[in-house]
Amino acid sequence: MKRGGLVSFVGAGPGDPELITLKGLRRLREADVVIHDRLIPGEVLEQTRPRVEVIDVGKAPGRPCLGQGEINRLLVDRGAGRRHVVRLKGGDPTIFGRLAEEIEAVRTAGLAFEVVPGITSATAAAARAGISLTERGSSSTVVFATGAVHGNRKALALDWDLLAHTGGTLVFYMPVGRLESVTASLTSLGRDPREPAILIERVGVVGERVIAGRLGDISERGRAAGVAAPALLITGPTVAAASEPATVRRVASHLAGVSDG
């Protein structure tokens, strides 16, 4: 017998308020408590019932954020007493979202949980740039990798040799700050520096930008453009078809009003 309520881990999508599933929206409308990350559109948060407790645990520059342990404790605390907690996470909860740790906390506390998928920023970015992540003949694999280093490990724990030779499409989440080392690791092990690559910043939110280049110069271009998080690096043969940044910017101007909170 489960002792408490239900925790629904819901993917909110990458920031465009229309990119949340109907199931996710329904959970949000039923929730007693909402615990959310940053970059959740205001329009989505407005879907909650009146007087629902809404807790922002997101990390933002210059603002205090909660540590993972505190988030886990909050989930367990609010999930007790038969309440329905929605843990709203950016993109898809199963991709670089520390979901396993949160599930573990909830499960250990004897609470029921479910996961409602969301649109991950990689597929939203591909959609915005007008590219396919796979293509018959040229890209039959897609790798979602992180450019971030955790703990006190100095190097990224990635099999660079494999990534350099796998062909297909590589998507790096959290690449800002490590563009040089990510791209140099790939090209020094034999990935073609002329391969088309793009950086996509703030997919689906105000300030969306696409910076296009090649694997060998995208880090320099990103630096020159002052690219900042959240952004993705996508490299691979199918990226050649990416739309001009101007086209994407024009579409993005219709999204004014989407908040970053």
Binding mask 65-104 for ligand SAH (x = CB under 6 A): ------------------------xxxx--xxx-------
Which one of the spans 18-26, 135-143, 202-210, 219-227 is the region binding ligand SAH (CB under 6 A)? 202-210
Cα Rg for the chain, rounded, in angstroms?
A: 19
Distance CA 70, CA 188 (A): 41
Q: Which of 16, 23, 32, 37 is catalytic?
A: 37
CB of 204 to ligand SAH, least distance (A): 6
Check residue 203 for interaction with ligand SAH (CB under 6 A). yes
Check residue 143 for interaction with ligand SAH (CB under 6 A). no
Check residue 112 for interaction with ligand SAH (CB under 6 A). no
Which one of the spans 73-81, 129-137, 155-163, 199-207 is the region binding ligand SAH (CB under 6 A)? 199-207
Find, among 120, 123, 121, 171, the residue nearest to 147 by Cα: 171
Q: Which residues contact 112 (CB under 8 A, 6 or more apart)?
A: 2, 4, 5, 6, 7
Find, among 236, 254, 239, 139, the residue nearest to 191 by Cα: 236
Torsion angle defined by CA atoms of residues 102, 121, 209 and 213, in that order, rounded to the nearest 10 degrees: 110
CB of 131 to ligand SAH, least distance (A): 15
Find, among 255, 207, 260, 210, the residue nearest to 234 by Cα: 210
Closest chain position to ligand SAH (CB): 91
Check residue 9 for interaction with ligand SAH (CB under 6 A). no
Identity (one letter) of the amino acid at 62?
G
159: number of Cβ within 10 Å: 11
Nearer to ligand SAH, 4 or 213 (CB): 213
Q: Are 239 and 198 in contact (CB under 8 A)?
A: yes
Instruction: Verify cis geometry, omega within 30 degrees of 0, for the bond prior to 93.
Output: no
Check residue 15 for interaction with ligand SAH (CB under 6 A). yes
Among 158, 174, 184, 206, binds ligand SAH (CB under 6 A): 174
Is position 37 annotated as part of the catalytic site? yes
CB of 67 to ligand SAH, least distance (A): 16
CB of 82 to ligand SAH, least distance (A): 28
Find, among 78, 121, 77, 69, the residue nearest to 98 by Cα: 69
Contacting residues toward ligand SAH, per CB under 6 A: 14-15, 39, 89-92, 95-97, 120-121, 173-174, 200, 202-205, 229-232
Enzyme catalytic residues:
37, 59
